[in-house]
Amino acid sequence: MMNGLKGKVVLITGAGKGSGRALAEALAERGAIIAANDISPVNVEEVVSGINARGGRAAAFIEDVAKKVGAQALVKTVEDQFSRIDILVNHAAVKPSAPLLDMDEWDWHRTLDVNLTGAFLMIQSVGRVMREQGRGEILNLVAGSGKGAEEEAGAYSSSMAGLVELSHQAGLELSRFGIRVHAIDISTNVVKEVLSLLEAK
């Protein structure tokens, strides 16, 4: 479906650190145009500056994807600037550490809002853009494919399990529009797996 990465517009949420940052840098090295999103400008602007300094092309977009208004504004701004979105990487996530019996309700809701609802909102908004384009790739980064819950990470593990199922359902519904949806386990070599997946097209 994807004919190489050169010139492809890749929108990455949570691109300021971790696997999101690693993918932004790796994909930029292969000629992709990076739309790097994060809720905080500190790290993501550093990522973008580094990519541009090395001859790549990237721009930072500061929005909270857990909010519908933020997610829709992000997608519209990226589309306005780059005219299209070829690949979406949902990486934005939070991971509070607290036993379920002691967890604050706000932490529970925020975890589900960012990790699961945020991914849903981005799939929905970007999916509509990709439907008009007739193709696209959506990659949801998950932890342990939602299995093997960690101690004191109940909210996070629950959100990851939900994201795996959301990926499956989105894949079923969006395939008719030429859109492929993947759940990528971050415990693997994410960069290698993603490059293998995208460069094979």
Q: What is the pTM of this model?
A: 0.94
Evaluated on CA atoms 100, 105, 110, 115, the torsion sign reads positive
- Report if residue 190 sits inside a domain: yes
Range of the domain at 66: 9-199
Q: Output the pLDDT for position 2.
A: 42
Q: Output the pLDDT for position 199.
A: 83
- Report if residue 2 sits inside a domain: no
d(CA 58, CA 39): 17
- Report if residue 4 sits inside a domain: no
**pLDDT tens digits in sequence order for the chain, 201 residues long:** 344 899 999 999 999 999 999 999 999 999 999 999 999 999 999 999 999 999 999 999 999 999 999 999 999 999 999 999 999 999 999 999 899 999 999 999 999 999 999 999 999 999 999 999 999 999 999 986 545 456 678 999 999 999 999 999 999 999 999 999 999 999 889 999 999 999 875
Place of tokens 């932490």: 107
- Report if residue 40 sits inside a domain: yes
- Report if residue 78 sits inside a domain: yes
Q: Output the pLDDT for position 97.
A: 87
- Report if residue 109 sits inside a domain: yes
The number of domains in the chain is 1
Burial label for 108, CB within 10 Å (0-12, 13-18, 19+), is middle
- Report if residue 59 sits inside a domain: yes
Q: Output the pLDDT for position 201.
A: 59
What amino acid positions are annotated as catalytic residues?
156
Q: Output the pLDDT for position 132.
A: 97
Give the CATH number, domain containing residue 167.
3.40.50.720
- Report if residue 1 sits inside a domain: no
